[in-house]
Amino acid sequence: MSPRHDPSSVPEELDEASSISSSLSTADTDILSSPGSTSSGPSLRSQPWPQTFPIPQFSYEVEVQLERANCTHLSSGTLLSPSAKLKSDILDSLASEIIKYKVYPSSAEFDTVAEALIRKHPCLKEQGSVCGYYGWKISLKYKMANYRTRLRGIGCPELSINSMKGKHGTTGQSPNQVKKPRKAEVNYCPDFPVGETKESLEEERQALLLEIKKKNQQQIKSKMGKTFAYRRQEIVMDMPFITELKSRWPALFSESEVNAEFTRITTVPLLSKFMSQLDGYSDRLLKVFRKKGGEAGRKIRLITTVMDKDPRIERRRECVIKGLCIYLNEEPESLIKTYLDASSDASHGMEAIVMGIYVIQHEGAEPDEDPEDVGVIIEGVNVLQGLRNVANECVLLLGLIYSLNLSYPKELKHTFEFLQKVVMELDGNRLSQKVQVLKNRLLE
């Protein structure tokens, strides 16, 4: 099973993303606003969907009408019945504000916009509606669909990838399916920086390869930021193989750049957020794990006894992740493949891995001993090696899945869902039943 993200797996209007509550650290804000990425200008979104949607300032004509209607509503309770033009002007302004955060808002996010509208302008509340804004929500959905059509017509890359021409091209994409963010990506397929073209950014990529040879880290970071949109469009639209990506973008396959790319895509820091959140949940997870019975409970206890011999935080994180897999009825061996350094089958076994983590242990090593090497393999290609520990591998694999626009392995979909939505708090309001049950038990 290929780890490639399948854009035709979910119809356009049925797959919904939800809100993001994470904030940026100063260091990760720099990734979006550093000298190397300022050339990206307004083409990059700098923040996720807000918890409270900011209703924009409407045109002077609209504001005057709403101000008078709000005063009348306050004094007499009379609701405004907006004219077709007034309603259209309001919806146009809201669509222009929504697009700053998302091209494809979820149903729940349309709720937040409509609710914020009648909260700021109570005169617009709908008579007879239970929530008071259902009609506004439906109108917003239609307005955004029309707005997307207009943006697609002027070449917005996040929408042009779903043009009819592309759908009937070599991709074989069905006309009623769409490529769009599935894992709360904020910058899914951004436009090129202002003043840049495909040709000029290809020159930057060639210059980047020279800086890699010179090991000029400052220039590498700068050029990776500048070429982000070019690289992202290539990954999302063309879906190249990992070997080709590694050849064209070797700098992407490093710990620092995986972290930076994840932040460019989601606006959320990867390593620091993951580790702090995982550590924060560890005690509660272990407490829940101890209550697990049957064969799964026995496997979890066998894994967690390693912490008695090796109390280091790295070992604790590894045991928690492995226990998480088992608790969610998934096999940690599907995620982490262990090989002996003397095994002649190790290289052959790694070539067969579609996506996962490898650990090289010397023969006769105890469970609490450090491995010889740890790394990440995708499509049989060793993309990261020489990493510090299993937990570090897991977070970088998550980052690579985002960076390379891949799907989660089906045999580990609940484990990665927990890591994304609970640990990283990306799309955390929309959980599968299995993950929701675990989250509820953590809050007991």
SS (H, E, C) 325-381: HHHCCCCHHHHEEEEECCCCCHHHHHHCCCEEEEEEECCCCCCCCCCCEEEEEECCE
Listed residue (382, 402, 84) closest to 242, CA to CA:
382
* pLDDT(260) > 80: yes
Could you give the percent of the chain with pLDDT greater than 90?
70
Listed residue (415, 254, 219, 230) closest to 331, CA to CA:
415
What is the reported pTM? 0.84
Least confident stretch, 47-61, 68-82, 137-151, 168-182: 168-182
**What are the tens digits of pLDDT across the range 399-428?**
999 999 999 999 999 999 999 999 999 998
Could you give the percent of the chain with pLDDT greater than 70?
85
Residue 343: which pLDDT band, with cuts at 50, 70 and 90?
A: low
Residues ≥6 apart with Cβ < 8 Å to 381: 242, 243, 246
* pLDDT(8) > 50: no
Angle between helices 60-76 and 84-98 (to 10 degrees): 110
**Gyration radius of the chain's alpha carbons:** 24
Residue 429: which pLDDT band, with cuts at 50, 70 and 90?
A: confident
Q: Are 9 and 94 in contact (CB under 8 A)?
A: no
Buried b (16+ CB within 10 A) or exposed e, 207-237: ebeebbeeeeeebbbbbbbbbbbbbbbbbbb
CA atoms of 80 and 341, how far apart (whole Å): 75
**What are the tens digits of pLDDT across the range 184-207?**
999 999 999 999 999 999 999 999
* pLDDT(7) > 90: no
SS (H, E, C) 58-126: CCHHHHHHHHHHHHHHHHHCCCCCCCHHHHHHHHHHHHHHHCCCCCCCCHHHHHHHHHHHHHHCHHHCC
Q: Are 441 and 280 in contact (CB under 8 A)?
A: no
The pLDDT value recorded for residue 196 is 94
- Return the structure tokens found at 168: 């009937």
CA atoms of 426 and 319, how far apart (whole Å): 23
Q: How many alpha carbons fall within 13 Å on the CB side of residue 340? A: 8
* pLDDT(35) > 50: no
The pLDDT value recorded for residue 284 is 96
The pLDDT value recorded for residue 34 is 41
Listed residue (277, 236, 256) closest to 21, CA to CA:
277
Residue 62: which pLDDT band, with cuts at 50, 70 and 90?
A: very high
The pLDDT value recorded for residue 342 is 53
The pLDDT value recorded for residue 386 is 87
The pLDDT value recorded for residue 175 is 46
- Return the structure tokens found at 241: 């193989």
The pLDDT value recorded for residue 438 is 96
Least confident stretch, 19-28, 253-262, 314-323, 350-359: 19-28
